[in-house]
Amino acid sequence: MLKLVIRTTLFAAAALALAACQDGGGPGSARARAPIPQKTVALMQEKGMSQAAPILIRSYKKEAELEIWKRDGKGEYALLKTYPICRWSGQLGPKIREGDRQAPEGFYTITPTQMNPNSSFYLSFDTGFPNAYDRAYGRTGRYLMVHGACSSAGCFSMTDEQIAEIYAIGREAFAGGQRSFQFQSYPFRMTPQNLARYRNDPNIEFWRNLKEGSDYFEVTKQIPTVGVCNKRYVFGSQSASCGATEQPAIAQALAQKRANDDHKIAELVSTGAKAVRLVYQDGGQHPSFRGEGGSVLSFTRSTRFSGDISRPEALAGAPQEIEMPDSASARTAVAMTPRPATAPGAADPVATGSVTAAAPAAQPLNAAAEAPSAGVFSKALSLGGILSGDKPAQAADPVKAAEAPSPSGG
């Protein structure tokens, strides 16, 4: 009975807070009460998770995938399910201004009041853009959602069936006592292969900052506390602020992962991995939504809007790859990067030249407050124009595909 009262109260508040995004009634409330599909409930049980356990959501533009992670019986977050994204718009890179069609990248907090049971796009939750990091750069935009209807103008759009399930999982986590969940939005999976491939993209420094948060989650299997210091994201277990320190064991594990990843990146570069920038006509979608020969599929929507996938002509071809070669001096220096130690008690991985390695225990977690590593790989990246030292993570204006703002987002 108590859970029912909590659930009713939370979503009544959400309905009031998002009145500007609503259709003004209709079947939304019934959609919002739909249970989690039995197949997904069975998957939770198989993985040792409860419906009420807290969640975290991660999205990846290039791969067009959205993941739901859930806390299991061991108290760690584990992957529950991966959903193909039906439509996202814009380019890889952060959202800069309202109307640029960019879907945001970064770390966002979702509360019950951001859940919209009466969305014009079946069901939705607001990402919370702009957050403190976005505001530090003067970025603008609003109503940037994860929603249904497979139509995007700055949003992450799922099918109606998918968003109904995602919404229900979030609703039950809130009902179980989770006050907010974290939405981590990435341009691509933070692998050494991707970071090597896009190492000369104008957004690379920003993306390496995002990787710090990704590493934290993957190493600890816990939701990182996120802060902003000197126009950079900072992460921690209990505190995330300028000068905050991290637990020694976590700091060491993070340093080791980052050193290993940086060594792998250096290997890829030294063996000829091509540096490119991807340019989309207007975003993308998961290949599972394509028909034979790569044609864009259409389907019937459950919403009151007519039509098919937004801007299908922009999905007709693959994104263009623009080569962004390294300088000769960078290639030579990267080839000299030493292999990081992995055995317990071995050499400090920070000394291998890790670009983003965490500082040793009891040192500030905030990388922005300290000088960058002077390792060989760090120097090589600077020579090649891959990093820009201590300059703020200000992204270049993406290739322009701007249109007038849409009610679904900026």
**pLDDT per position as a tens digit, 40-64:** 999 999 999 999 999 999 999 999 9
Whether residue 118 is predicted with pLDDT greater than 60 in this model: the reply is yes
Q: What mean pLDDT do residues 184-206 have?
A: 98
User: What does the pLDDT look like over 317-337, one tens digit per residue?
Assistant: 889 999 998 875 455 445 445
173 pLDDT exceeds 50? yes
Does pLDDT of 175 surpass 80?
A: yes
pLDDT of amino acid 397 = 37
Average pLDDT, the chain: 78
pLDDT at 170: 98
Of 260 and 351, the one with more pLDDT: 260
**DSSP result, 275-331:** PEEEE-SS-B--GGGB-GGGPBP----SSS--SSSS-GGGGSSPPEEEE-PPPHHHH
Q: Is the pLDDT of residue 168 over 50?
A: yes
- Condensed to tens digits (0 to 9), the pLDDT of residues 353-372 reads 333 333 333 223 233 333 33
**Active site residues per annotation:** 147, 155
Whole-angstrom Cα distance, residue 137 to residue 140?
9
Q: What is the pLDDT of residue 19?
A: 34
Q: Domain 2-188, CATH 2.40.440.10 — does that match? A: yes
**What pLDDT shows up at residue 314?**
77
Distance CA 282, CA 402 (A): 9
Q: Tell me the C-alpha distance between 46 and 72, whole Å.
A: 10
Q: Return the number of other C-beta atoms located less than 10 Å from residue 343's C-beta.
A: 6
Contact (CB, 8 A) for 293 and 243: no
pLDDT per residue as tens digits for the range 297-311: 544 444 433 345 677
Q: What is the pLDDT of residue 245?
A: 83
Above 80 in pLDDT, residue 312? no
Instruction: Tell me: pLDDT of 192 over 70.
Output: yes
| Span 60-84, average pLDDT | 98
Question: In this predicted structure, what is the pLDDT of residue 241?
Answer: 84
The more confident residue out of 239 and 158 is 158
State what percent of residues in the chain have pLDDT above 70.
Answer: 68
pLDDT (0 to 100) of residue 342: 44
Domain segments of the chain as ranges = 2-188, 210-281+321-383
Name residue 78's beta-bridge partners.
Answer: 70
Whole-model pTM over 0.95: no
More confident residue, 340 or 157: 157
Quick check: 260 pLDDT over 70? yes
In 153-209, which ranges are E strands? 156-157, 181-186
The pLDDT of residue 77 is above 60 = yes
- Answer yes or no: is pLDDT of 24 > 80: no
pLDDT of 254 reads 97
What pLDDT score does 69 carry? 98
Tell whether the model's pLDDT for residue 7 goes beyond 70: no
32 against 5, higher pLDDT: 32
CA distance 194 to 367: 22
Give yes or no for residue 395 having a pLDDT over 60: no
Indicate if the pLDDT at residue 23 is higher than 50. Answer: no
pLDDT of residue 244: 81
